[in-house]
Amino acid sequence: MNMVLMFIMVTTAITSTMSLMIIIFKKKSIMDKEKMSPFECGFNPMSFSRVPFSIHFFIISVLFLIFDIEIIIILPMIITIKSSMLMKWLITSTMVITILLMGLYHEWNNGLLNWTK
């Protein structure tokens, strides 16, 4: 029990001494707006850092991800054409592609694919 108490006291003394040394000897840094702003390639760090978020860009990126996942769903259908019944495969693939085209038409009709409004 005595050894455990001694160990705790020594580790507390070492960490306290190191923390005190860091506080005393740390490099003083001048905090100005340019140094505190995050660096992003292609953006001027001297300008206002809170630019408005483009919701249209977000919608286009979500649509891209959705269509990307749909391509992942369609690819195995091409591989399974040899091992499945042709009529069932044809009906299934036609339904999937029709649903995708209906979704694309709906997005196009609502103007979600137009970059500028």
Three-class HEC string of 3-70? HHHHHHHHHHHHHHHHHHHHHHHCCCCCCCHHHHCCCCCCCCCCCCCCCCCCHHHHHHHHHHHHHHHH
69 part of a folded domain: yes
Residue 83 lies in a domain: yes
pLDDT at 62: 86
Residue 66, domain extent: 55-109
**pLDDT tens track for 6-44:** 999 999 999 999 999 888 877 665 565 556 666 666 555
Residue 36 domain-assigned (yes or no)? no
Give the number of domains in the chain: 1
pTM score, two decimals? 0.47
